[in-house]
Amino acid sequence: MLEINLSGLKLKSPIILASGILGVSFSSMKRVINAGAGAVTTKSIGPKPRKGYKNPSIIEIYPGTFMNSVGLGNPGIDDFISEIKEIKENNIPLIVSVFGDTKEVYLEVATKAEKAGADAIEINISCPHAEVASIGIDKDLTYQIVKYIKEHLSKPLFVKLNPNVTNIGKIALAAEKGGADGVVAINTLTALKIDVNTKRPILSHGSGGLSGKAIHPIAIKKVYDLYKILKIPIIGCGGIDSWEDVVEFLLAGASAMQIGTALYKGVEIITEINKGIIHYLKDNQYKSINDIKGLAHQFKTQEVPDFD
């Protein structure tokens, strides 16, 4: 009931580990798969090791809502290849998230990841507290980098979209035009929390990315709007911590979903979500999650009265 084909990737569940959470080692990603995830996305990997920002780099600001500014800390692609190979030796569906400072560097990292065994590449052009965000706010830059990378890769290419823009649809369409096999909507939202006693931002970097429950309705709205204009699959991401959240993304038009922040509760939440979706499908007499994708679009919202 939960099986999907995502741009050629055959997954046992639509739940995918989001980039940046538990995605830096084989052991942590294996736990996520054992809990029932269909695939894992690695932490964003760059061309060389990067320390990231100093602590505090992540805080819980409301129950289930976090703000982080990790700064794309990662071991670098050359050191990460061994992890990719170990993951693939265990037949784990793997999406490698990559970033760089030029399109050539993006491609270099993506090519090394693909050769090491990655099943798909996700390009991070939207991290709100790093330089790569400047790409994801410009439709022309997005088109250029997606087209350039796609021309040199054989595996599916997903683009993680920046929600901190005036019109996410234009960026998504540019990614589709460039050859993207799917988009991930959305990355975290730019945010700032100030300590009233120290009178300075709480995170060492200052601003950060907001994730978790508070952004879920925003992510649903973005997916709902993108479904109307895109032909390629949408991977919904933002604030999932229950089966209802996943079903909501499906009804809005998502083909798969990524879960991240909620894993602070433990990977077992994935098992519970999968069970909940199956019960929902059976109770409503659906045979597959594909039967409910985009159903919310059959509902006609109230039209604004014409006063002319």
Using one digit for the tens of pLDDT, what is the confidence trace for 125-183?
A: 976 655 665 788 899 999 999 999 999 999 999 999 999 999 999 999 999 999 999 99
Instruction: Please name the residue that has the structure tokens 């039209």.
Output: 303
What percent of the chain clears pLDDT 70, i.e. is strictly above it? 95
Query: What was the pLDDT predicted at 23?
Result: 78
pLDDT of residue 76: 95
Classify each residue of 40-56 as buried b or exposed e, where b means 16 or more C-beta atoms within 10 Å of its C-beta.
Answer: bbbbbbbbeebeebeee
pLDDT in tens, 85-96: 999 999 999 999
Closest to 158 measured CA to CA, from 140, 134, 184: 184
Residues 6+ apart with CB under 8 A from 172: 159, 161, 183, 185, 226, 229, 230
Domain spans, the chain: 4-52+71-188+211-298
Tell me the residue ranges of DSSP E strands in the chain: 4-6, 9-11, 15-17, 39-41, 58-62, 65-68, 94-98, 120-124, 157-160, 182-185, 189-191, 194-195, 200-201, 208-212, 234-237, 256-259
38 vs 34: CA distance, rounded Å: 10
Cβ contact 13:6 at 8 Å: no
The per-residue pLDDT for 228 is: 98
Residue 302: per-residue pLDDT: 63
- Computed from CA positions of residues 228, 98, 12, 14, in that sequence, does the dihedral angle turn out positive or negative? negative
Residue 53's pLDDT is 81
Q: What is the pLDDT of residues 171-221, one digit of tens each?
A: 999 999 999 999 999 999 999 999 999 999 999 889 999 999 999 999 999
Residue 193: how many CB atoms within 10 A of its CB? 14
Provide the pLDDT for residue 116. Answer: 97
- Do residues 52 and 70 lie in contact, with contact meaning Cβ atoms separated by under 8 Å? yes
Per-residue model confidence as pLDDT tens digits over 20-72? 888 788 999 999 999 999 999 999 999 999 887 888 889 999 999 999 998 88
What's residue 194's pLDDT?
96
What pLDDT sits at residue 303?
66
Indicate the pLDDT class of residue 305, thresholds 50, 70 and 90: low
How sure is the predictor about 307, in pLDDT bands with cuts at 50, 70 and 90? low
**Reported CATH class of domain 4-52+71-188+211-298:** alpha beta
The angle, 0 to 180 degrees and rounded to 10, between the axes of the packed helices 268-283 and 243-252 is 60
The upper half-sphere exposure of residue 228, i.e. CA atoms within 13 Å in the direction of its Cβ, equals 11
Strand order in the sheet with 189-191: 58-62, 65-68, 208-212, 189-191
- By the 10 Å C-beta count (0-12 exposed, 13-18 middle, 19+ buried), 103 is classed as middle
- Could you give the CA distance from residue 95 to residue 167 in angstroms, rounded to a whole number? 27
**CB of 64 closer than 8 Å to CB of 262:** yes
Q: How many CB atoms lie within 10 A of CB 186?
A: 27
Give pLDDT, residue 308: 55
Average pLDDT over residues 286-298: 97
Q: Name the catalytic one among 16, 123, 127, 184.
A: 127
Q: For position 134, what pLDDT does the model report?
A: 73
The count of other CB atoms within 10 Å of the CB of residue 307 is 4
With a cut of 90, say whether residue 304 has pLDDT above it: no
Tokens of 69: 């500014």
Residue 237 annotated as catalytic = no
**Tokens encoding 158:** 């997903």
CA 276 to chain centre: 22
306, pLDDT greater than 70: no
